[in-house]
Chain A
Amino acid sequence: MTTDELTRWSGDLPGASRPPRTGWRRARAIVLGAGLTAYCWIAGATVPFSASALLSVLLPGAVLAVIACRFPPERIQPPERIDAVGFSYWAICIAALFEWEASAFRDNSPPWHPSLTELVNPLIAPHPLKSAAVLVWLLAGWGLVRR
């Protein structure tokens, strides 16, 4: 048997064919990706403080809640235990972020001490960027459901 015969893909052999599941999964991924992109584009166009904006957030939340409760996906196995000292680094940074943000909110986000929200809002004001941010948020939610 030659090297060419050994490296030949099984689909080239007579009678063999690509498994149908691969094509179906690819089609499903394309449809889901297109739907997700369209939803993010629509959600990015909503006006803040409007009912449509609220609905654009609550709807995926409800969908993920149903998926998490009724149709849980294959979850990524979490660690049995976590090193407390290692986690403390995360806790300190997150506490610092919350404190910095909370102090800005307490002062009503003045220009000299803006909150993170005040800084981020102008960045995601353009429609494409807001849509991208919504997409990142949705993907993060899916990542959490799988944890």
Chain B
Amino acid sequence: MSTRIITIIGFACVIGALAALEAVARRGTTRIPTLGQWLGYVMRPRTGRALILLGWLWLGWHYFAR
């Protein structure tokens, strides 16, 4: 197994873990917040809101403008 495959598996595992966290959180039986809940919490202050939106803009620039 090449290191490239290992890298891809690593990314897949992390992204899968994020998806699993969201699925578990949406069940409502755990204390894990959903993505929307913790994003909303972080975006309550103006600074957090600006930072998150800037991060969203950076993602767009990184993947679509470059």
Q: Which of A60, A81, A86, A145 has most chain B Cβ within 10 Å?
A: A86
Q: Mark B25-66, 1 if CB is under 8 A from A, else 0.
A: 100001111011111110110000100110011011111111
The 5 closest A-B pairs by CB, nearest first: A78-B40, A86-B32, A83-B31, A86-B31, A147-B40
CA–CA, A143 and B43, complex, Å: 12
Q: Inside 8 A of B18's CB, which chain A residues have their CB? A: 90, 93-94, 97
CA–CA, A42 and B10, complex, Å: 34
Q: Inside 8 A of B41's CB, which chain A residues have their CB? A: 78-79, 81-82
Contact indicator B14/A96 (Cβ below 8 Å): yes
B4: min CB distance to chain A, Å:
5
Contact indicator B60/A57 (Cβ below 8 Å): yes
CA–CA, A130 and B66, complex, Å: 13
Residues 36-87 (chain A) with a chain B CB within 8 angstroms: 43, 46, 48-49, 53-54, 56-58, 60-61, 64-65, 68, 76-79, 81-83, 85-87
Q: Inside 8 A of A43's CB, which chain B residues have their CB? A: 64
CA–CA, A49 and B2, complex, Å: 32
A30: Cβ under 8 A from any B Cβ: no
Contact indicator B64/A76 (Cβ below 8 Å): no
CA–CA, A97 and B11, complex, Å: 7
Q: Smallest CB-CB separation from A60: which chain B residue?
A: B60
Q: Inside 8 A of B43's CB, which chain A residues have their CB? A: 78, 144, 147
B65: min CB distance to chain A, Å:
4
